[in-house]
Chain A
Amino acid sequence: MVPAVMSDRPPNTPGTDEDLSTTPSTDPDPGEGAALEIRGLSVSYRTRGGTVAAVRDVDLDVRPGEVTAVVGESGSGKSTTAHAITRLLAANATIDAGTIRFGRHDLTALSEAELRTVRGAQIGLVPQDPSVSLNPVKRIGEQVAEVLRIHGLATRRSAPAEAIDILHRAGLPDAATRARQYPHELSGGMRQRALIAIAIAARPRLIVADEPTSALDVTVQRVILDHLQGLTEELGTAILLVTHDLGVAADRAQRLVVMSQGRVVEAGATREVLADPQHDYTRRLLASAPSLTTAIPRTKATAPPPTGTTPLVELRNAVKEFRLPRANGESRTLRAVDDVSLTLHRGRTLALVGESGSGKSTTARLVLRLTDASAGHILFDGTDVTTARGAQARQLRRRAQLVYQNPYASLDPRFSIGEVITEPLRAFKVGDRTSRLDRARELLDRVALPAATLDRRPAELSGGQRQRVAIARALALSPDLVVCDEPVSALDVSVQAQVLDLLAELQADTGVAYLFISHDLAVVRQIAHEVAVMRAGRIVETGAPDDLFKHPRHEYTRELLAAIPGRRDDHDLRTQTA
């Protein structure tokens, strides 16, 4: 079915043996020896509203044994560029102009049948979201073996053993067992390794990695990227790394391509671009990228509250257990929150940091009384609310509000923005229609949105604007506490910075306290007065952010800090710019 016409070289021949340490700091001739050479690429999407140009006149080179990173915010065209290379664009996309040179071929001119001999065999793709990118009904081993079978690199008999071997090379521990498992039985990090195994199975010359780690925890991200980098160096594979995270790009890429609104605005050796950005957009991107060393605290350093004042929130030895499904007749429980004590004062921000599954969100739900504690006490403004019900719980709801992670899902799409913001007021029967709308206008002004936004629908707003609306809604009842659950992690970096500024400003004005949940230590450093690091349901370390980040005491905190991307070149950068 697949005509084998294109294999101009054995699939396992590495490109060149270029030594990584001699990466040129200047840019002699980007086209020379490139594994991939894109010239004048333009891609557009046909939509109901007409044709939208997503990628315009893009030039890009990827060299063997090198990582080239494409960075940009959502909508910059970086992902479309990556997909155009393997011609896996959406059905309504067309390549309008340009060439994509790969070896002897122009990929834009190949037929579908010819492309199939390139995909998988010569170009591997590491997709964005490991949770949905593996076929849920097929075993991991089968999915890796499929690449070998498609390209005739293994027989039906030899493929399973080779798949285990490849999984092992991709860094999956206990590969033989994993090969027999299904995707849902593996963690996100393990799934991403399986996907890397699929990408490297046929030893391709080029790997296109589209945000390969943005869905993973930082420590997992580091291991995965380390591994991908190791493979590049070992096999001389060229990697095109698409990422929104400037820190990841700075750490991993020899060359950097900055995209904005479908165009390449700047390209060059990573160090040079970071040290001396030529384009305005790159400078802005750099300025807003939260890196630990460059992060400026956005909150005012307020004096610690005098001892003896009643804290707004106090958690005493709180425990939350979940029942797990029975296994072999035994009942098991999961301690999501394990003996957690914390204190939050008015006008202050306490950040809970930790990886997924560390219990930070459950802790916040305990504080909000959205879930019942299995043991321990929860005090709100001096009152024990551990078992509060009815009127007392309702009173608590009024004084404690929540801002969710995903502004795309947390606003009712059928409500107008006015209805969204006034809903808490309606729920508590505050004021009449006109006074509620006045309040909504005032709140919109506070979060720096025009009053005309009142009549818009959530779908008409950008992510950053939606999160502002969510903040306005949380503030509608003038609460004492707002719990922010990863409030900026779904937003682009430049928008992140604006939202964090807004939160800090609102705190200074209204004296609201934040319980701020985040996996991103750089973000936490900018906003928190105090930080609690959580792991496996326990708080392992607390302290002021400066203190904690400069002198971490707990091993886990050190590990988390070390995993943050964007730290490697910081030192070099500062010495260069100095």
Chain B
Amino acid sequence: MRRYAIKRLAQAVGVLWAAYTVSFLVLDFLPGDPVTAMASAGMDSGTVDPAQLAALRHEYGFDKPILVQYADYLGRAVRGDFGDSVSTGRPVSSTLADALPQTLQLTGAALLLAVLLGGGLAVVATYTSRRWLRQLLLSLPPLGVSVPTFWVGLLLVESFSFRLHWFPAFGNDGLRGLVLPALTLAIPTGAQVAQVLAKSLLTALDQAYVETARAKGAGRWRVHLRHALRNASLPALTVVGLLVGQLIAGSVVVETVFSRDGLGRVTAAAVTAQDIPLVQGVVVFGALIFVLTNLLVDLVYPLLDPRIVVASGRKAVAV
């Protein structure tokens, strides 16, 4: 088990390095110059003193050869220093650290809602013996996946804030402020969980061991929850791991729609301002969250399915 964890951690570090490198290269090749953008931000005339530009370039190290820049930045990034934001001048790491709790709250709540709503929907849809209800419930997830997040958000705000005044339409205050954005984010995510779980539940219910359970005299709930669900949960768990990435990406839109502070808005602002150090910090940070979640998912697998042996193959072959 420990050896497996170490191996997976090494892989995680590799993924982070790759994310950093790719983002570095892509940002380098993009048209536009952060220094020009930064310098012109303060002035309306559009004419910038070339000497001033050169000074700025030198300050940020943009005048060095690309490989030197890369080595330089990578070395500092390893120590957690992603440089200073070009637009605000604050260190990237503290900007991210400030924004993180808000976004963690949002994505965490959204993930919980997604699993509960999506999982619940899948279980009920596959349990019911009423055909119309099953058809109705199973037609919801494709709908949830296909409607755009911002539209769902606007719809929720329109009905629950402006009409019913149940929840605030924007801002970061408290649990009540969290409900609508988390729900907005949870709908497409939960829909995907529901799709995968419903599908694998139906597959599991078709297996021979389910018939064995029924032949024991087990009731439908027992068959459904104790036998089928655990077997069906693995594919859904894999999807949940992948959806975390989607949640982080979704927070950009949702935080903008609901005017919430957080990582998403930091990202949006950084991209608009071509704030390269900040964008790069966001990319690496997003990759870090993604990698950690999936590591966690991988470590949970063997707890759910004893056939998956993580310790480098011991007992993997029954002789």
A254 to B95, CA, bound (A): 83
B6 to chain A, nearest CB (A): 16
A465 to B217, CA, bound (A): 40
A133 to B210, CA, bound (A): 8
Chain B residues lying within 8 Å of A147, measured Cβ to Cβ, are 216-217
Binary flags per residue of B272-306, CB closer than 8 Å to A gives 1, else 0: 00000000000000000000000000000000111
Q: Please determine whether B217 and A119 come into contact, CB atoms closer than 8 angstroms.
A: yes
User: Does A522 have its Cβ within 8 Å of any Cβ on chain B?
Assistant: no
Chain A residues lying within 8 Å of B214, measured Cβ to Cβ, are 88, 119
Q: Please determine whether B231 and A86 come into contact, CB atoms closer than 8 angstroms.
A: no
Q: Please determine whether A151 and B314 come into contact, CB atoms closer than 8 angstroms.
A: no
A471 to chain B, nearest CB (A): 31
A150 to B221, CA, bound (A): 12
Q: Which of B208, B304, B306 lies in contact with A184, CB distance below 8 A?
A: B306
Binary flags per residue of B16-32, CB closer than 8 Å to A gives 1, else 0: 00000000000000000
Q: Please determine whether B314 and A86 come into contact, CB atoms closer than 8 angstroms.
A: no
Binary flags per residue of A114-133, CB closer than 8 Å to B gives 1, else 0: 00111111001101110011
Q: Which of B215, B219, B230, B314 lies in contact with A327, CB distance below 8 A?
A: B314
Binary flags per residue of A76-87, CB closer than 8 Å to B gives 1, else 0: 000000000010
Chain A residues lying within 8 Å of B313, measured Cβ to Cβ, are 325-326
- Contact (A116, B217) CB under 8 Å given A135-B209, A195-B212, A334-B319: yes
- Contact (A127, B211) CB under 8 Å given A137-B231, A325-B317, A326-B313: yes
Chain B residues lying within 8 Å of A125, measured Cβ to Cβ, are 211-212, 215
User: Does A146 have its Cβ within 8 Å of any Cβ on chain B?
Assistant: yes
A124 to B217, CA, bound (A): 9
A162 to chain B, nearest CB (A): 15
A510 to chain B, nearest CB (A): 41
Q: Which residues 163-217 in A have Cβ within 8 Å of B in the complex? A: 182, 184-187, 195, 198-199
Chain B residues lying within 8 Å of A112, measured Cβ to Cβ, are 220
Q: Please determine whether A324 and B317 come into contact, CB atoms closer than 8 angstroms.
A: yes
Binary flags per residue of B177-204, CB closer than 8 Å to A gives 1, else 0: 0000000000000000000000000000
User: Does A136 have its Cβ within 8 Å of any Cβ on chain B?
Assistant: yes
A143 to B214, CA, bound (A): 12
Chain B residues lying within 8 Å of A303, measured Cβ to Cβ, are none
User: Does A71 have its Cβ within 8 Å of any Cβ on chain B?
Assistant: no
User: Does B165 have its Cβ within 8 Å of any Cβ on chain A?
Assistant: no
Binary flags per residue of B211-242, CB closer than 8 Å to A gives 1, else 0: 11111111111100001001100000000000
User: Does A264 have its Cβ within 8 Å of any Cβ on chain B?
Assistant: no
Q: Please determine whether B315 and A88 come into contact, CB atoms closer than 8 angstroms.
A: no
A116 to B218, CA, bound (A): 7
Chain B residues lying within 8 Å of A143, measured Cβ to Cβ, are 212
- Contact (A136, B307) CB under 8 Å given A198-B212, A325-B316: yes
User: Does A1 have its Cβ within 8 Å of any Cβ on chain B?
Assistant: yes
Interface residues of A (CB under 8 A from B): 1-2, 86, 88, 112, 116-121, 124-125, 127-129, 132-138, 143, 146-147, 150-151, 182, 184-187, 195, 198-199, 324-327, 334
Interface residues of B (CB under 8 A from A): 207-209, 211-222, 227, 230-231, 304-307, 312-319
7 contacts between A and B (CB under 8 A): A127-B215, A135-B213, A146-B216, A150-B216, A150-B218, A185-B315, A324-B317
